[in-house]
Structure 1
Amino acid sequence: MKKYIIILMTLVIITLGGIFMKEQHDKKTAAQEAKKEELYSLAKKRMTDFIKTNYNDIKRIDFTNDYEVNPMGGISINGYLNGDKDKKIWGIYDKANDEVGSFIVDAKEKPECEDKVCEY
């Protein structure tokens, strides 16, 4: 009888430990997702500022939700301009330097921003 009680107590402890570990994992995952969403919002804002400063005739910028955070902390974002899905944009926002590093924008640059990237 004593052997069964020890086995039952061991199973209860293992189960409770597993539940606790699962809860901790879920909290960590939720915190990481919230951090990614915050980074994505910041990247959209900086990319919008960059595009409106450096390119002509930008009325609207639509971003897709297929972003990717790279291991170095940058985030790759995609979208299109003025409601035209053929006028694509793509850029990598570097949070450490607070700038848009690499980018592709299907629009005409402003004359003063052709030779260099204008401050945004």
Structure 2
Amino acid sequence: MKKYIIILIGLVIITLGGIFMKEQFDNKMEAQETQQKEELFALAKKRMTDFIKTNYKDIERIEYTDDYEINPMGGISINGYLNGNKDKKIWGIYDKPNDEVGVFKVNATRKPECEDKVCEY
């Protein structure tokens, strides 16, 4: 009888240890995923800023909202506005694998040299 109690206590300890280790692993993975998302958002903002300043005129300031969406293909959709005017909205999808702003909508006037094509940024 004593042998069964010792085995049962051992199994309970092993189970609780496994649950604890799984919880620690999940927390670590969640922290890494959050950090990767923040790094991708920062990179997308930088590339979008470069794109807008290269292709559009009269851009003094670009402000981004914190609501971004990462799609399964690795792109990130970001929103914002220009020059402190919330009516001058911007939206774009940064495609990380190709390192470019793929789809975009900017409420501003294009530079003359960039009207027919997207200028290199």
TM-score of the two chains, using structure 2 as the length reference: 0.95
Q: CA deviation at 1:52?
A: 0.4
Gap regions ≥5 residues in structure 1: none
Identity of aligned residues (%): 64
- Provide the residue aligned with 1:48 in structure 2: 49
Question: For residues 26-105 of structure 1, what are the structure 2 equivalents within 5 Å?
Answer: 26-105=27-106
Q: Which letter does structure 2 place at the counterpart of 1:18?
A: I
Q: CA deviation at 1:91?
A: 0.3
What secondary structure does 1:102 align onto?
strand
What secondary structure does 2:108 align onto?
coil
Q: Which letter does structure 2 place at the counterpart of 1:99?
A: E
How many aligned positions are there?
A: 120
Write the deviation string for residues 18-54 of structure 1: whole angstroms up to 9, x where unpaired. 1101111111111111111111111000000000011
Q: Which letter does structure 2 place at the counterpart of 1:80?
A: Y
Q: Which letter does structure 1 place at the counterpart of 2:49?
A: T
CA distance in 2, matches of 1:26, 1:32: 10
- Provide the residue aligned with 1:3 in structure 2: 4
What secondary structure does 2:66 align onto?
coil
TM-score of the two chains, using structure 1 as the length reference: 0.96
Q: CA deviation at 1:93?
A: 0.4
What secondary structure does 2:92 align onto?
strand
- Provide the residue aligned with 1:119 in structure 2: 120
Gap regions ≥5 residues in structure 2: none
Q: CA deviation at 1:111?
A: 1.0
What secondary structure does 2:39 align onto?
helix
What secondary structure does 1:101 align onto?
strand
CA distance in 2, matches of 1:22, 1:90: 38
Q: Which letter does structure 1 place at the counterpart of 2:74?
A: G
CA distance in 2, matches of 1:19, 1:87: 50
